[in-house]
Amino acid sequence: MNKIFPQGDGNAAAAGSKALPGREGDMPQRLPGFLVAHCGDPASWIYSDQKCDGLNNCGDCSDELSPVTMCPPCGPGWWRCPSTVFKYCSCIPRSLCRDHVQHCSDWSDEYSCPGP
Report the interface residues with Ca ion, using CB under 5 A: 50, 53, 55, 57, 63
Q: Which is nearer to Ca ion, 6 or 110 (CB)?
A: 6
User: In whole angstroms, how close is the CB of 43 to Ca ion at the nearest point?
Assistant: 17
Give the gyration radius of the chain's Cα atoms.
15
Q: Which is nearer to Ca ion, 50 or 84 (CB)?
A: 50
User: In whole angstroms, how close is the CB of 57 to Ca ion at the nearest point?
Assistant: 4
Q: Which is nearer to Ca ion, 46 or 113 (CB)?
A: 46
β-bridge pairing 44-47 and 22-23: antiparallel
Q: Which is nearer to Ca ion, 55 or 92 (CB)?
A: 55
Which residue number places its CB atom closest to Ca ion?
Answer: 57
Cβ–Cβ under 8 Å, residues 13 and 19: yes
Among residues 58, 113, 116, the alpha carbon closest in space to that of 88 is found at: 58
Residue 3, CA distances (Å) to 29, 54, 66, 92 in order: 12, 26, 28, 31
User: In whole angstroms, how close is the CB of 55 to Ca ion at the nearest point?
Assistant: 4
Cβ–Cβ under 8 Å, residues 29 and 45: no
User: In whole angstroms, how close is the CB of 71 to Ca ion at the nearest point?
Assistant: 9
